[in-house]
Amino acid sequence: MTIPDIVPNPLRRYLRPGSLPHFFCSGCGAAQVLNFFLQAADELGLDFDKLVAIGGVGCAARIPVYLHAEALHGIHGRTLPWATGIKLHNPELTVVIFAGDGDAAAIGGNHLIQAARRNLDVTMIVVNNLNFAMTGGQVAPTTFPDLVTSTTPYGNRERAFDLCQLAVAAGATFVARCSTHRPRVTIHTLKKAIQHRGFALVEVICQCPTYFGRRAIGSDDPAQGIRWIAEHSVSLYRAGELAEEELADKFILGTFVEKEAPVFEGSSVYPGGEG
Amino acid sequence: MMRQDRVALQFCGFGGQGIVLLSVVLGTAAVTRAGLYAVQTQSYGSEARGGECQAELILSKDPIRAPLIDRVDILVAMSQLALNRYLGRLRAGGTLIIDPELVQVPDRADVRILLVPATEIASRIGGRIAANMVMLGFLQGVMGVVSEEDLLDTIRDHVPHKYLELNLEAARQGIALARAQRVQGE
Amino acid sequence: MPQVPNRRVLTGTHFMLGNHAVVEGALAAGCDFFAGYPITPANEISEHMARRLPEVGGKFLQGEDELCSIFAVTGAALAGARAMTATASAGYNYMQEGLEYAIAAEIPCVIVDVQRCRGENFATQADVMQMRWGPSGDHEMIVLAPSSVQELFDTTIRAFNLAEKYRMPVIVMSETTIALMRERLVIPRPEEIEIVHRAKPSVPPEEFLPFQAGPDGVPPLPAFGEGYRVLYSLNPHDERGSIHWDPDVFEAMYRRITHKITTHYDDIVRTESFYLDDARIGVVAYGSECRSALEAVELARAKGIRAGMLKLATVWPVPEREIASLARQCATILAVEMNLGKYAREIERVACGTCQVVRVTKNRGVIHTPGEILEAIEAHA
C-alpha cells in the first residue's frame, strides 16, 4: 500500500494560526458555512487585512474565531450595532457577520430590521439550524410548528419566522436563501452578497445533527439532516406553482432581492459647504 | 440693581412668549460681555409646549456655588397664572415687573412694581412675539448690568435673521422706556 | 469629507448648557463618533452632537436602542474612533452588556450618564453605585463626577484621555442639576488642551501579541484594517487573543485589567480640598452637591466652626488615601449626597471607625440647600 502525499487544504492559510482544532460537532452545518465562506473569499481574492468578521454568541458565531481576519466575538445579538460603528467610522473595511438564527431572529431581531432599513453596507450570513444548538437545542423563532425541541417537548406551538421576507420588507437590498445541500450555489451567492454594496442577507439552512437532528427529525446522522433539508426545500421558481399550505414547511431557496440603493453614512450627515 | 453682588431673577409666563430666550440672552450678555458669573435654569418637559413657563437666572460678581434661588430679587411676570404661582417667592424690597395687558397689579405693598406695556409696544412696532425683547431692553435699562450695545449684539447672536430687526427695535423701545421711567422717578 | 474650519474647538467665553458643554468637551478631545438613543435629560447631548459632529467630519448615529449605541461605540472605537455615547439612568441599565464587553476586551470609549429620578427629570445621585457595579465581571471602573458646566467640559476631555490611556470605558457621571443648567464656560485654545492618544503597536503584525501589556499594564491597540488581525472576545483569552479556558490565563487577564487601574491611582484619582488645613469636621461631597456643601462650609466658618470640604472629582476608584487622611484628622465626616446614603458606605469602609461618619441624605429631586448642610454641620460641630 502506498501512502499518498498529504496536501494541506489550500484554504487553511485563511485560518487563524493556532485556532484548530475547531469546536464544531462532526457533520455540523456551521462548519460547512465556514468552508463555503473561505471558498468564496478565495475566489474573490478578499483582503483579510481589511476584513472584519463578526460573530455574536452561538455555534455559527464561532466562525470568525477561526478566520485570520480582524474579528469580534462574544456578545449575543449585537453583531449589527458593532458593524454599524465599524462601517460608519471606516467605510473601506469589508464587514461580514456570521449569526445564528438566535442572534439574528431572536435577541438581535430589531437590529436586523434597522440595519436592513438603513441599508448598512455589510454582509450578514445567517446560519439557520432551526434551534438554539449551543445551549442544548431549545426552540428558536425559526423552528417549524409541531417540531420537538428541548423546550417544546410536546411540539412547537409557535409559528416560524421567514427571515428573508422580514429582511425584504425592512428594505434590505440583497436577500437570498441557500442551504448546505447545495454548496456551489451557496458559495456563488455568498460571493454576490460580499460584492453587493448595501445590506446583504444570506440565510443558509443548516443541519444540526446533535440537537435538531436527534430531537426534531429523529436522527443524529448528518446525511439524514441534509436529506431532510433537501426534502423540505423548493426553488423560488417552483414555489410560485405551489399552494400556501404546501409551502408551510418548505424552505424557498433563491435570491429574493438584488437592487441598488444609497448606503448608510450616519443619521446626521453634513450637507457640505460653509456652515 | 447690581449694587448687591448677587441678583436672583425669575421670568414667568406661558409657552411661546420667549420667556426662556429672555433669560438666556440676558445671561449670555452678562457672562460673555460683562464678565459676570451666571446660572440659568428653566422649567422643562410638558410645560415647554404651551403651558406655564418659567426661567431663573442668577447673576453674580463671584463664582456661584449653590445654584439655587430661595428668594427672588426681580420677578418678571407675563401671565396672570404664572404671577399667582411665583409672587410668593419675591422678597420684600424686591422688584416686580409686569405687563399690564396680561397681568393685574397685585396687592404687594412691600415691593416695587414696574409696569411695562411690552405686548402693546411690540404690537405697535410689528409683532406681539417681540414682547419679550421689550422686557429685556427694559431690564437692561433699569439694571445696567450690561451695556446697551452689548445687549443688542447678544440679541443679534440669538435671533434668526428674519426677525432680527423687529427684536432689536423692541429691545430699543424697552431701553427707552426704562430711561423715561427713571427720569420720571428722579 | 466636508469640514468646517476651526469649528472643533470653540475657543472663548460662553454661557452654555451643561449638556452642550459635554459635546464641546468631546469635540475638543477629538471625538469623531457618537451614538445615542433618545432619553431625557440627555437629549441635548445627542441633538447638539447631531449638528456639531458632522460639521467637523465625525459620524453621528441615532441607535435603535441603548444596546445599539454602546455596541456601535465599541465597534467604532476598535476601528480607530474616539467614540462616545450619552444616556440617563434607565438607559445606562441597558448598556451594561456593552460595558462589560468594553472592559473585558479593553476598548476605549466614553459614556456620559445624566442621572435622573425614575423616569423624570428631577435631580438625583442615586446611581453612584450602579456606575461602578453595573456590569458583570471582575474589574475596576473609572467614574468622574463634574459639578459645574465648566467641569462637564473639562471632565469630558479628561474622560477621553483616561479611556485612551488605559483602554477602558470611562464614565462621566452627570446629573440633571448641571446638565440642564446654563453657566459660564471658558473654552481654551486648541494648543492648550491636552490630548492623549492610545498606544499603537511598535512591532509588525507577526510579532504582535494583542493582549500583552506594556510597562504600564496597557496593551497597545491597533485599529481594524491596519493589518494586525486581532480577535476580540468576551470569552477568556490569552495574550494572543485566542479563546481557550485555562484558569491561569483567565485569572491573569482579570488581574491585569484590574491592576492597570489600581496601580495608576495617582493619575486617575482627583480630589480637591477646601478649608481642610485645620478642619475638625469634614464634609465629603461629589458632583453638584459640592456646590451647596462648599457654601455651607463657608457659612460654618463664618460662625467660627472649623469645617472643611473634600470634593471627589473621581468617585471610582474611591479616593481612599484622601478619605482615610480626612478620617484621621476629623472627629466627624459628613457624607453629603443626593440619595438615601450610598457612597457613605465607601466612606465608612475607608474611615473604618477612625471617625464618626454621618449620612446627610436627600432624594427629593433637588440638591441640598446650603442651609440644610449647615444645619448638619452645626449639629455635629
In SS3 terms, chain C reads as CCCCCCCCCCCEEEEEEHHHHHHHHHHHCCCCEEEECCCCCCHHHHHHHHHHHHHCCCEEEECCCHHHHHHHHHHHHHCCCCEEEEEEHHHHHHCHHHHHHHHHCCCCEEEEEEECECCECCECCCCHHHHHHCCCCCCCCEEECCCCHHHHHHHHHHHHHHHHHHCCEEEEEEEHHHHCCEEEEEECCHHHCCCCCCCCCCCCHHHCCCCCCCCCCCCCCCCCCCCCCCEEECCCECCCCCECCCHHHHHHHHHHHHHHHHCCHHHHCCEEEECCCCCCEEEEECCCHHHHHHHHHHHHHHCCCCEEEEEECEEECCCHHHHHHHHHHCCEEEEEECCCCCCHHHHHHHHCCCCEEEEEECCCECCCCHHHHHHHHHHHC
Distance from CA of C370 to the nearest CA of B (A): 7
For residue B3, pLDDT beyond 80: no
Does the residue B1 lie in any domain?
Answer: no
Cβ contacts below 8 Å, chain A against chain C, sum to: 154
Q: Pick the closest to residue C58 from C109, C3, C112 (CA basis).
A: C3
Residue type, A53: A
- Contact list, C367 vs chain B (CB under 8 Å): 66-68
Pick the residue with more confidence: A5 or B126?
Answer: B126
- Contact list, A59 vs chain C (CB under 8 Å): none
Report, as an integer, the average pLDDT of C140-144: 97
Q: Give the strands of the sheet with C271-274, arranged side by side.
A: C271-274, C307-312, C281-285, C332-337, C356-361
User: CB of B67 within 8 Å of any CB in chain C?
Assistant: yes
- C-alpha A182/C-alpha A234 separation (Å) is 12
The reply to whether residue C223 touches residue A49, judged by beta carbons under 8 angstroms, is no
Residue pair B117/B101 in contact by the 8 Å Cβ criterion: yes
Chain A residue with minimal CA distance to C98? A75
Q: Which residue has the cell 466575538?
A: A73
Pick the CATH number of A29-256 from 1.20.120.1200, 2.160.10.10, 3.40.190.10, 3.40.50.970: 3.40.50.970
pLDDT band at C6, cuts 50/70/90? confident
The reply to whether residue B31 touches residue C369, judged by beta carbons under 8 angstroms, is no
CB atoms within 10 A of CB B186: 5
For residue C3, pLDDT beyond 60: no
Chain B neighbours, 3+ Cβ pairs < 8 A: C
Cβ-nearest to B38 among C15, C40, C369? C15
Chain C residue with minimal CA distance to A79? C71
Q: In the beta sheet, which residues pair with residue C115?
A: C175
Q: For residues C331, C336, C342 and C348, what is the CA-based torsion angle, rounded to 10 degrees?
A: -10
- C-alpha C247/C-alpha C239 separation (Å) is 14
Q: What angle do CA C211, C214, C215 make, to 5 degrees?
A: 145
Pull the grid cell for residue B4: 448687591
Listed by start position, the domains of chain C span: 12-192, 271-380
Domain that holds residue B68: 6-185
- C-alpha C122/C-alpha C105 separation (Å) is 35
User: CB of B39 within 8 Å of any CB in chain C?
Assistant: yes
pLDDT for residue C339: 97
Share of chain C above pLDDT 90, in %: 91
Enter the ipTM: 0.95
Give me the phi and psi of C319, to 5 degrees please: -70, 70
pLDDT for residue B15: 84
Residue pair C166/C5 in contact by the 8 Å Cβ criterion: no
The reply to whether residue C224 touches residue A86, judged by beta carbons under 8 angstroms, is yes
Distance from CA of C182 to the nearest CA of A (A): 24
User: CB of B40 within 8 Å of any CB in chain C?
Assistant: yes
pLDDT for residue B47: 46
- C-alpha B67/C-alpha B151 separation (Å) is 24
Residue pair B53/B15 in contact by the 8 Å Cβ criterion: yes
Residue pair B40/C182 in contact by the 8 Å Cβ criterion: yes
Q: For residues B100, B103, B105 and B108, what is the CA-based torsion angle, rounded to 10 degrees?
A: -140
- C-alpha C37/C-alpha C46 separation (Å) is 8
- C-alpha C228/C-alpha C226 separation (Å) is 6
For residue C184, pLDDT beyond 70: yes
The reply to whether residue C184 touches residue B67, judged by beta carbons under 8 angstroms, is no
Kindly report the pTM of this predicted structure: 0.95
pLDDT for residue C243: 82
- Contact list, A72 vs chain C (CB under 8 Å): 75, 78, 231-233
CB atoms within 10 A of CB A146: 12
Find which of A20, A84, A110, A114 to mutate to test the C interface (most C CBs within 10 Å of its CB): A84
Mean pLDDT of chain B: 92
The reply to whether residue A68 touches residue C229, judged by beta carbons under 8 angstroms, is yes
Question: B132: helix, coil or strand?
Answer: helix
For residue B2, pLDDT beyond 60: no
Q: C271-380, what's its fold?
A: Rossmann fold (3.40.50)
Cβ-nearest to A89 among C2, C81, C240? C81
**What is the helix (H) or strand (E) element at residue A88, kind and residue range?**
helix A79-89
Give me the phi and psi of C157, to 5 degrees please: -60, -45
Report, as an integer, the average pLDDT of C25-44: 97
Residue pair B69/B10 in contact by the 8 Å Cβ criterion: yes
Q: Give the strands of the sheet with B6-14, arranged side by side.
A: B112-115, B90-98, B72-77, B6-14, B52-60, B37-42, C182-187, C12-17
Distance from CA of C180 to the nearest CA of B (A): 7
* Mean pLDDT, each 10-residue run in order, chain A (275 residues): 81 93 95 98 98 96 96 96 98 98 96 98 98 96 96 96 97 98 98 98 98 96 98 96 92 98 97 58
Distance from CA of B119 to the nearest CA of C (A): 27
Residue pair B79/B61 in contact by the 8 Å Cβ criterion: no
Distance from CA of C183 to the nearest CA of B (A): 5
The reply to whether residue C68 touches residue A65, judged by beta carbons under 8 angstroms, is no
Pull the grid cell for residue A185: 450555489
Q: In the beta sheet, which residues pair with residue A254?
A: A177
Q: C12-192, what's its fold?
A: Rossmann fold (3.40.50)
Find which of C61, C106, C206 to mutate to test the A interface (most A CBs within 10 Å of its CB): C61
Pull the grid cell for residue C224: 481594524
User: CB of B62 within 8 Å of any CB in chain C?
Assistant: no
Q: Do chains B and C touch (3 or more CB pairs under 8 A)?
A: yes
Identical fold at C12-192 and C271-380? yes
Pull the grid cell for residue A47: 483582503
Residue pair C176/C124 in contact by the 8 Å Cβ criterion: yes
Residue pair A79/A56 in contact by the 8 Å Cβ criterion: yes
The reply to whether residue C83 touches residue A85, judged by beta carbons under 8 angstroms, is yes
Give buried/exposed letters for A216-242 (b at 16+ CB in 10 A, else e). bbeebebebbbebbeeebbeeeebeee
User: CB of B43 within 8 Å of any CB in chain C?
Assistant: no
pLDDT for residue B75: 98
Share of chain B above pLDDT 90, in %: 85
Q: Name the DSSP letter for residue A22.
A: P
The reply to whether residue A78 touches residue C97, judged by beta carbons under 8 angstroms, is yes
For residue C2, pLDDT beyond 50: no
pLDDT band at C119, cuts 50/70/90? confident
Cβ-nearest to A268 among C54, C76, C80? C54
- Contact list, B70 vs chain C (CB under 8 Å): 369
Kind of pairing between the strands at C332-337 and C33-36 = unpaired
| Residue range C232-290, pLDDT digits in tens | 988 888 888 888 789 998 899 899 999 999 999 999 999 999 999 999 999 999 999 99
For residue B80, pLDDT beyond 80: yes
Question: CATH number of the domain that B99 lies in?
Answer: 3.40.920.10
Give buried/exposed letters for A110-137 (b at 16+ CB in 10 A, else e). ebbbbbbbbbbbbbbbbbbbbbbbbeeb
Residue pair A42/A52 in contact by the 8 Å Cβ criterion: no
Q: What angle do CA A4, A10, A15 make, to 5 degrees?
A: 125
The reply to whether residue B32 touches residue C370, judged by beta carbons under 8 angstroms, is no
pLDDT for residue A2: 74
The reply to whether residue A84 touches residue C240, judged by beta carbons under 8 angstroms, is no
Which residues from C are below 8 Å from B when comparing CB atoms?
12-15, 40-41, 121, 177, 180-184, 288, 291-292, 294-295, 298, 366-367, 369-370
- C-alpha A70/C-alpha C230 separation (Å) is 5
- C-alpha A42/C-alpha A38 separation (Å) is 6
Distance from CA of A105 to the nearest CA of C (A): 16
A110: left (phi over 0), alpha (psi -120 to 50) or beta: alpha
Q: In the beta sheet, which residues pair with residue C309?
A: C274, C283
The domain tally of chain B equals 1
Q: Pick the closest to residue C197 from C102, C111, C315, C77 (CA basis).
A: C77
Q: Which residue has the cell 446697551?
A: B148
- Contact list, A65 vs chain C (CB under 8 Å): 231, 233, 243
Q: Which residue has the cell 403651558?
A: B51
CA distances (Å), origin B90, targets B27, B36, B96, B112, C269: 20, 23, 8, 11, 43
The reply to whether residue C75 touches residue A81, judged by beta carbons under 8 angstroms, is yes
The reply to whether residue A267 touches residue C62, judged by beta carbons under 8 angstroms, is yes
End-to-end CA separation in angstroms for chain B = 16
Give me the phi and psi of C258, to 5 degrees please: -80, -45
| Residue range C328-348, pLDDT digits in tens | 999 999 999 999 999 999 999
